[in-house]
Amino acid sequence: MSLKRYNTPPARNLKRRHSYTIRGIKILRSATTLIIFGSLIVVVTFAYILLSRPAIYSKHKITSPLLKGPSNTSNANDIHADDQRSRTFQHKFKLKHIHRHGVTPLTSQTHQRLDVNDEFLFQANKLYQETTESKIQTNDASLLYEQEDMLWTTNENYSTNSPFSFEFNIKSKQITLQRLTDRTPKFIESYLDFAYKSPQLASTIELDWNNDDQVIAPDVTDKETIISLALMSSNAYVQIPQTGDWRNVSSPWNGSESQDFGWDGNGIRGHVFVNELDNIVVISVKGTSAQGLPGSGIDETTVNDKINDNLLFSCCCARVSYLWTTVCDCYVKSYTCDESCLEKELRRKDRYYNAVIDIYKDVLNQYPNAEIWVTGHSLGGALAALIGRTFGLPAVAFEAPGEYLAAKRLHLPFPPGLPAYLEGVWHFGHTADPIFMGTCNGASSSCSLVGYAMETSCHTGRVCVYDVVNDKGWRVNMLNHRIHKVIDEILTDYDQPAKCLAP
């Protein structure tokens, strides 16, 4: 009988295999522990990032305490489509300061500020009551139009006997703007001065841009906000007393300066509204005062308003025909204009654009950390848009003539590769206003008949147009340009603000 023989492994081999098995189990356990521990670290880290992201974002990207996180992606053509899910904030503003700035060769360096106090409010409200009574007693239609724009809106929801004590309600939203990294007046003015002297070389300069600045801006989809900004624009028209504690922002006046400078002379005005709690300031720039061109006032600043209107919004020094006297010497011949001459005319120290820059600089000096917005009606709206573009500020304009040509002639900074309508400038207007629509031109137009060459039609930023011609059956008429016509019969009448689209 044969027996099979099995080789039994030596004892030392069994021990070695047992040792390998134990070591493998230990390694497996260690690896499993590391995987579990690593997973926990990843989960905890991810949760921490999610929970702390708003604070991190606010720390590194946001300056205003109202900004709470990144803005939503916006539709390039429709402001109503962007930020629909964004958080809005409610603010209350009151008039705090009034500026006046000279714009004649003798007074271009004069700049004064009045800080609103109880004595001023008493005198201003008294004058307002007298103006209201004189309007009621007047039967002259033309005088009624002129006086009406020095008064307040007739809408009962906003009625007041004290326009300078009125509290304005405005909502804001966070938006993303592409604007210059260095927006200090010192840098901006040095760049503009260089462009003024060497426009060809200025176009070759590569400016440093911040592509995703988070900015608090007016909520232009909110009806109350748009009405309040329009009322602020109209507030700059209301007549105020010539008395008060005016402080010299510029060097003190001397005896050689014109005595007619002030509220009945040739100058530009700005009203400053402040929300101290949220650190937001709104500058309202006064628009055109003129007999014949409805805007406001009884010919307080007519002469220089007309000169600046014709410089900013005509093709070449308001040369409509051979019968016209041009406002500058840059016209050469038919269809020929000295462009460099015209650019220098716009940048003269006694022009409105430089005066508004001085007003902005003083406001910035008073409120260095504030969010600053600008608004205005007509010429004031165009100047607000130009200043907004210059310093990267949100700007809301009402019935402003097209300022795109002026922005180019002033060599204002335009973000490279970004359409103009994606910037923080909004133009509100309606289809029955020939000045806003750019149709008040030609030798036989109503604008020309009163001495205005309003030949531009293109706006920067976005345009928000109420189609009152189709909706209300209005006819195109220069009288529809008036700010109170816009407030009382359009802004307060429509359920929602007009949609803001690319021009």
pLDDT value of residue 296: 43
Distance CA 94, CA 370 (A): 15
Q: Is 209 inside any structural domain?
A: no
Q: Select from 61, 80, 112 the last residue of a domain.
A: 61
pLDDT value of residue 74: 42
**What tokens appear for 318 in the block?**
């308001």
Q: Is 470 inside any structural domain?
A: yes
Closest Cα partner for 382 from 363, 359, 402?
402
Catalytic residue status for 378: yes
Structural domain of 484: 88-200+216-250+262-501
Are 307 and 385 part of one and the same domain?
yes
Active-site option among 71, 108, 314, 378: 378
pLDDT value of residue 400: 95
pLDDT value of residue 498: 98
Are 34 and 111 part of one and the same domain?
no
Q: Is 79 inside any structural domain?
A: no
pLDDT value of residue 374: 98
Are 129 and 16 part of one and the same domain?
no
Distance CA 128, CA 257 (A): 29
Tell me how many domains the chain contains: 2
Q: Give strand ranges (E) for 323-408.
A: 331-333, 336-337, 371-377, 395-398
pLDDT value of residue 271: 96
3-state secondary structure of 212: strand
299: phi > 0 → left, psi -120 to 50 → alpha, else beta; which? left
pLDDT value of residue 22: 57
Q: Is 20 inside any structural domain?
A: yes
In order along its 503 residues, the chain shows pLDDT tens digits of: 444 444 445 555 544 555 555 555 556 566 666 667 666 676 656 555 554 443 333 333 334 444 443 333 344 455 444 444 467 899 999 999 999 998 888 888 889 999 999 999 998 888 888 877 765 554 554 444 555 555 678 888 888 888 899 999 999 999 999 999 999 999 999 999 898 888 888 888 889 999 889 999 999 999 999 999 999 999 888 877 766 788 888 765 544 444 444 444 567 889 999 999 999 999 999 877 655 455 444 445 567 777 888 778 888 877 666 666 777 888 787 777 888 888 888 778 778 899 999 999 999 999 999 999 999 999 999 999 999 999 999 999 999 999 998 998 888 998 888 776 678 999 999 999 999 999 988 777 888 777 787 878 899 999 999 999 999 999 999 889 999 899 999 999 999 999 999 87
Q: Is 205 inside any structural domain?
A: no
The strand pairing partners of 464, in sequence order, are: 428, 500
Cβ atoms of residues 54 and 68 within 8 Å? yes
pLDDT value of residue 286: 87
pLDDT value of residue 455: 78
Q: Is 211 inside any structural domain?
A: no
CA angle 79, 84, 86 (to 5 degrees): 110
Question: Helix axis angle, 379-391 relative to 185-197, nearest 10°?
Answer: 100
Distance CA 173, CA 215 (A): 8
